[in-house]
Amino acid sequence: MATAKPNISIVSETSAAPSRGQAPYGAESVSASDLTSQEKATRRRVVDAQNISLTFETADGRVDALSNVNLQVADGEFVSFIGPSGCGKTTMLRVIADLQQPTSGTLLVNGMTAEQARLARAYGYVFQAPALFPWRTIEKNLKLPLEIMGYSEFEQQQRVQRYLSMVNLTGFERKFPWQLSGGMQQRVSIARALSFDPALLLMDEPFGALDEIVRDHLNEQLLHLWKSTGKTVLFVTHSIPEAVFLSTKIVVMSPRPGRIIDVIECDLPTDRSLEIRETPEFMKVAQRVRNGLRAGHSYDE
Amino acid sequence: MDPRKLRLGFLLATVAVALAFVFAPAAQAAPLLARPVAAGLCAGAALLLLLAAWLGDIRSILPGLIASLASGSASLLLLHDPAVAGEASVGFWAIVIACWVSAALCVINLATVRNLRRERLRVIDIAVPLLFGATVFYLWEVGVRGFGVPPVLLPSPSAAAARFAASLPILAGDFVQTFIRGVLIGYVVGCGAGLLVAILAHRFDFLGRGLLPLGNFFSALPLVGIAPIMVMWFGFDWPSKAAVVVLITFFPMLVNAIAGLSAAGHIERDLMRSYAASHSQSLSKLYLPAALPFIFNALKINATLALIGAIVAEFFGTPTQGIGFRISTEAGRMAIDMVWAEIALAALAGMAFYGFVALAERATTFWHPSYRT
Amino acid sequence: MTSSALALPARSSRTWTQHPLVARYAPVVTMVAALIAIWYVAAVAMNWSLVRDGFEREETPYTTSDILSGTMDAERPLLPAPHQVVNAFLDGVFGYPPLAPRSLVYHALVTLSATVLGFVLGALFGIALALMIVHSRVLERSLLPWIICSQMVPVLALAPIFIVVLGALGLHGLLPKSIISAYLCFFPIAIGMVKGLTSPEPLQLELMRTWSATPRQVLWKLRWPASVPYLFASLKVAVTISLVGAIVAELPTGAEAGIGARLLSGSYYGQTVQLWAALVTAAVLASGLIGIVGLIERSVARHMGAH
């Protein structure tokens, strides 16, 4: 596994001052490996965003949270969004989830509008906080989306067992959320998001509130989960190592206005363990991300 | 508590009991030594107080308590003597003081205990106020009977209790009229209506924003004043009282329920939206459970308000029974012990009602952080 | 995180309906207007048969519009129309010299004096009790449970006894009423203050300890300022209870002056409009008292650095 040199293809060169709003990359990669790009081109597009813009009216004037964002995500990818606070990464995720509406641009999720996708229950959302209902046991919390979506009692029970074991929390069905640690609660939240088999998993800084050791552990578990379920994952984070470790594609964003600076294809082998974070290939990608952040003035002010 | 002060206190109590043997309980009454039972009790109390003084720490609580009991019973026995009751003097009051000081020392000693296991601390938490209350009642009793306070002014607890026991049928009738018919029905209708309107106000934002300030305004008004109007509309009997209770309980429930329904967190609301849940699904699975602490807050407030409202509404006119009616008529007739019996009934009903709601709250909102600290 | 409510819609111009002032007051104004409209309709409906029977008894010819106008102007209506109440109120306030027995101002002052006196006494006593409870563990464990229990007891029902007993002792008029008001409002103030005085976090108390602050200094510099919001919240509740107490205290002895007395006489003699005018007066008093407490609270809060 460690012998083959991983093939890191960097899709675009970032210019020092990217033109306003344009994500300087195309759908095709310019790497040496054409086989990979062909494979990529034939995979279904789960998210297709064209020129998404979102402007807020605040007390201090207008804020361009998103400015002409273009993004394509293919089936089965693990895409990380990284950038400082206010760069629009959470906003982009919420727009895809139809939790917020863009002021202009088109968006197709699974070939439908975002709202249709939401009504068709096409994605599961994991928030920064576990958002478990304190009056329900863990079991009942997992059943919440299933009850809403009308699954039978038998089906609900089956899924609860399956997804709890997937996050290694079998035996905690009768406990209440406050009896679990933060990391365990977040795992339950992830299991809940998966319980109705959505095609897409949207995660908004899910591990931000946890300490580093728990975070590492959960990163490993998440990767394992992704490989075994084959879902498309959109993951927002502001940790560079986390983004590089988890993803197949890293979208670097910057604020004022919120836009994509760079999209980095990361071809580290999918069988990653935490040790890969010390390899020079990993460092190169991380450096790439850092350059992108610096180019977007993310380290200023 | 400082052991020296404790010892001093118990010694003082002992001296007081000793004084009781020297001075007669009342000007015209036989001395203590002529009364075998009372004298025996006082002697026993004195010995126990000496023991408590000698021990001087937490172990002195038990002998102190028994001494209080003994001296208290002695004083009550003495009151049976018509020569003593109403004319009590030094000998009698010495016993009372001994009992009081001893009980007070036990209360103080218990209250300052800190490092015990949790179950024992719980017992103390209940024992201290009970002991305190018992002392107050004791002092009330001996004060009224010893000084000969006219029963019109202030009856003794025993007289009020006797009257209570003797008037159970009347009390039962009043209870049903006021509590079962007036309070309960009004409470259920008022709280139910308040909750329903709050749910509507939550659904239609415009309604909510308009009703909330109005609800706050009306909760502050003296709504008991509406009673005469209700009597005009619904007659003298219980429906008018129930109507007053409905109005009184409606607004606190409305205000609290609206606050509770908006208490669900932002993230949880987005979660329901991501599930494409219908409004009624969100209501039953998120908004209502999250609002329960607020709803129960209103239910507890309303429990007291409802009872007050019904009783005061009866001050304005009621056919022939009801707690408020009985209080005002018996007060007019100067039958104060009956009034106290009715007040005791109202107090018991109020505490039972509130306690019931509090228990229901505990059962349904056990998950709230305030129970977990 | 910004919410979707803040995001601009596709068009960026705003109509007058979204003007902040309109958005803020429109709902309340609409509700009030709706309530008044419902009131009028109810007045017509409830007074209809009354007025029609009146006409029949007098055997005068009448039309529907006669009945309609009659319902809104009846002498002893079941439900007076809003303008009737307003007229009676204004008449009572401005139509008589302030100290005349028929002036609402006179009655309001009588009740208000008992309310304010009772409120002040109750507040002082309640705050004193709270201070004692916070500093004495003994009092806290023996007395506080009884105070909490007393919240569940309908204390207002004691009003008649008080009046009668104090009357037998020779105390009439203002003093018994204010004692009742004081008795009613000192409990919520005591409990509110206890909550407030014990509200400082353990962290802040430990900080005071590192400075070897005496209990008195802790009280003045930490506990007292921390309890101000709780104090004002309970003062607002207490002032309304005090008003209710003063009104109810006027009932048992059939007092002649005061809002409660007006309510009673209005109900005895079937003077509905007088009754409603007295109620409006009580409402105005209550709002006024709360408003005053609120103003004091706001100036104190500004003084203490709130925004």
* Same domain flag for A57 and A163: no
In a domain, A20, yes or no: no
Kindly state the tokens that stand for A260.
Answer: 């994509």
Residues of C with Cβ-Cβ distance to B107 under 8 angstroms: 138, 142
* Same domain flag for A67 and A191: no
* Same domain flag for A169 and A76: no
* Same domain flag for A148 and A284: no
The total number of structural domains that make up chain C: 2
What pLDDT does C8 receive?
44
What pLDDT does A298 receive?
61
Interface contact flag, B111 C137, Cβ < 8 Å? yes
Interface contact flag, B112 C78, Cβ < 8 Å? no
* Same domain flag for C194 and C265: yes
**In terms of DSSP bridges, do strands A61-74 and A45-58 run parallel, antiparallel, or are they unpaired?**
antiparallel
Structure confidence at residue C295 as a pLDDT band (50, 70, 90): very high
Mean pLDDT, chain C, rounded, equals: 82
What pLDDT does B367 receive?
87
CA–CA dist B246, B180 (Å, integer): 14
* Same domain flag for C130 and C181: yes
Mean pLDDT of A45-70: 87
In a domain, A130, yes or no: no
Please report, for the domain that includes residue C123, its CATH number.
Answer: 1.10.3720.10
Contact between A139 and A160 (Cβ < 8 Å): yes
ipTM above 0.85, yes or no: no
Kindly state the tokens that stand for A149.
Answer: 């979506």
| Shortest CA gap C233–chain A (Å) | 29
The three-state secondary structure class of C254 is coil
* Same domain flag for C44 and C122: no
Closest CB from B276, B281, B289 relative to A133: B289
CA–CA dist A90, A69 (Å, integer): 13
CA–CA dist B233, C47 (Å, integer): 11
The three-state secondary structure class of C62 is coil
* Same domain flag for A245 and A261: yes
pTM of the entire structure? 0.82
C153–chain B Cβ distance below 8 A for any pair: yes
C158–chain B Cβ distance below 8 A for any pair: yes
In a domain, A15, yes or no: no
**In terms of DSSP bridges, do strands A200-204 and A123-126 run parallel, antiparallel, or are they unpaired?**
parallel
* Same domain flag for C74 and C115: no
- What is the number of residues in chain C? 307
In a domain, A154, yes or no: yes
Please report, for the domain that includes residue A78, its CATH number.
Answer: 3.40.50.300
In a domain, C272, yes or no: yes
Q: What is the CA radius of gyration of chain B?
A: 28
Question: Would the CA dihedral through A239, A244, A248, A254 be positive or negative?
Answer: positive
Domain with CATH 1.10.3720.10 in chain B: 165-371
Interface contact flag, B277 A148, Cβ < 8 Å? yes
What digits encode the pLDDT tens for the residues A244-286? 999 999 999 988 888 888 899 988 887 788 888 888 889 999 9
The gap between the terminal CA atoms of chain A, to the nearest Å, is: 42
Interface contact flag, A127 B368, Cβ < 8 Å? no
In a domain, A64, yes or no: yes
| Shortest CA gap C8–chain A (Å) | 6
Amino acid of residue C151: Q
For residue A126, report the phi and psi dihedrals to the nearest 5 degrees: -115, 120
Which residue, A178, A197, A216, sits at the end of a domain? A197
CA–CA dist C126, C21 (Å, integer): 41
Partners of residue A81 on adjacent β-strands? A236, A251
Mean pLDDT, chain B, rounded, equals: 86
Interface contact flag, A65 C2, Cβ < 8 Å? yes
B43: closest CA among B17, B11, B78, B62? B17
* Same domain flag for C189 and C292: yes
Identify the domain containing residue A267 by its residue range.
35-122+200-295
* Same domain flag for A183 and A278: no
* Same domain flag for C162 and C299: yes
Count the neighbouring beta carbons within 10 Å of the beta carbon of residue C152: 22
Which residue, A170, A197, A224, sits at the end of a domain? A197
B347–chain C Cβ distance below 8 A for any pair: yes
| Shortest CA gap C50–chain A (Å) | 55
What digits encode the pLDDT tens for the residues B21-36? 888 777 777 777 777 8
* Same domain flag for A163 and A273: no
Which residue, A197, A214, A239, sits at the end of a domain? A197
Interface contact flag, A54 C7, Cβ < 8 Å? yes
C1–chain A Cβ distance below 8 A for any pair: yes
How many residue pairs bridge chain B and chain C with CB atoms within 8 Å of each other?
169
Burial of residue B30 (number of CB atoms within 10 Å: 0-12, 13-18, 19+): middle
What pLDDT does A58 receive?
80
Contact between C123 and C189 (Cβ < 8 Å): yes
In a domain, A282, yes or no: yes
Percent of residues, chain C, with pLDDT higher than 70: 92
Q: Does residue B328 surpass a pLDDT of 90? A: no
The three-state secondary structure class of B88 is strand
Closest CB from A131, A147, A178 relative to B271: A131
Mean pLDDT of C45-58: 81
Scan residues 91-120 of A and list those with Cβ closer than 8 Å to B.
Answer: 94, 97-99, 118-120
Omega before C27 within 30 of 0, i.e. cis: no
* CA angle (B191 as vertex; B189, B197 as ends), nearest 5: 95
In a domain, C84, yes or no: no
Burial of residue B20 (number of CB atoms within 10 Å: 0-12, 13-18, 19+): buried
Strands lying side by side in the sheet with A45-58? A61-74, A45-58, A104-109
Amino acid of residue C19: H
CA–CA dist C194, C148 (Å, integer): 11
How many residue pairs bridge chain A and chain C with CB atoms within 8 Å of each other?
24
B253–chain C Cβ distance below 8 A for any pair: no
Identify the domain containing residue C65 by its residue range.
18-79
Residues of A with Cβ-Cβ distance to C6 under 8 angstroms: 56-58
CA–CA dist A169, A142 (Å, integer): 12
Mean pLDDT of C14-30: 75
Neighbours of chain B (3+ CB pairs under 8 A): A, C
Interface mutation vs chain C, best among B115, B128, B197, most C CBs within 10 Å: B128
Residues of C with Cβ-Cβ distance to A58 under 8 angstroms: 6
What digits encode the pLDDT tens for the residues A104-156? 999 999 889 999 999 998 899 999 899 999 999 999 999 999 999 999 999 99
**In terms of DSSP bridges, do strands A78-82 and A232-237 run parallel, antiparallel, or are they unpaired?**
parallel
* Same domain flag for A190 and A220: no
* Same domain flag for C42 and C158: no
Interface contact flag, A118 B274, Cβ < 8 Å? yes
| Shortest CA gap C153–chain B (Å) | 5
- Higher confidence at residue A212 or residue A22? A212
Scan residues 282-301 of C and list those with Cβ closer than 8 Å to B.
Answer: 282-283, 286-287, 290
Q: Does residue A13 surpass a pLDDT of 70? A: no
Interface contact flag, A148 B273, Cβ < 8 Å? no
Percentage helix, strand, coil for chain C under 3-state DSSP, each rounded to 5? 75, 0, 25
What pLDDT does B294 receive?
92
In a domain, A28, yes or no: no
Residues 6+ positions from B338 with CB-CB distance below 8 Å: B163, B167, B326, B330
CA–CA dist B63, B55 (Å, integer): 10
| Shortest CA gap A254–chain B (Å) | 25
Residues of A with Cβ-Cβ distance to C7 under 8 angstroms: 54-56, 100-101, 103
Q: Alpha helices, DSSP H only, in B80-180? A: 90-111, 118-147, 157-166, 168-175
Residues of A with Cβ-Cβ distance to B371 under 8 angstroms: none
What pLDDT does A300 receive?
64
The total number of structural domains that make up chain A: 2
In a domain, C88, yes or no: no
B310: closest CA among B322, B327, B298? B322
SS (H, E, C) chain A: CCCCCCCCCCCCCCCCCCCCCCCCCCCCCCCCCHHHHHHHHHCCEEEEEEEEEEEEEECCEEEEEEEEEEEEEECCCEEEEECCCCCCHHHHHHHHCCCCCCCEEEEEECCECHHHHHHCCCEEEECCCCCCCCCCCHHHHHHHHHHHHCCCHHHHHHHHHHHHHHCCCCCCCCCCHHHCCHHHHHHHHHHHHHCCCCCEEEEECCCCCCCHHHHHHHHHHHHHHHHHHCCEEEEEECCHHHHHHHCCEEEEEECCCCEEEEEEECCCCCCCCHHHHHCHHHHHHHHHHHHHHHHCCCCCC
Range with the poorest average pLDDT among B288-302, C84-98, C165-179, C195-209: C165-179
Residues 6+ positions from C13 with CB-CB distance below 8 Å: none
* Same domain flag for A291 and A209: yes
C219: closest CA among C119, C125, C127? C127
Neighbours of chain A (3+ CB pairs under 8 A): B, C
Q: From the options 1.10.3720.10, 1.10.10.10, 3.30.1300.10, 1.20.58.710, give the CATH code of B165-371.
A: 1.10.3720.10
Interface mutation vs chain C, best among B312, B325, B336, most C CBs within 10 Å: B312
Interface mutation vs chain C, best among B315, B337, B340, B357, most C CBs within 10 Å: B315
Residues 6+ positions from A107 with CB-CB distance below 8 Å: A47, A48, A49, A50, A52, A95, A96, A113, A114
Kindly state the tokens that stand for A235.
Answer: 């993951």
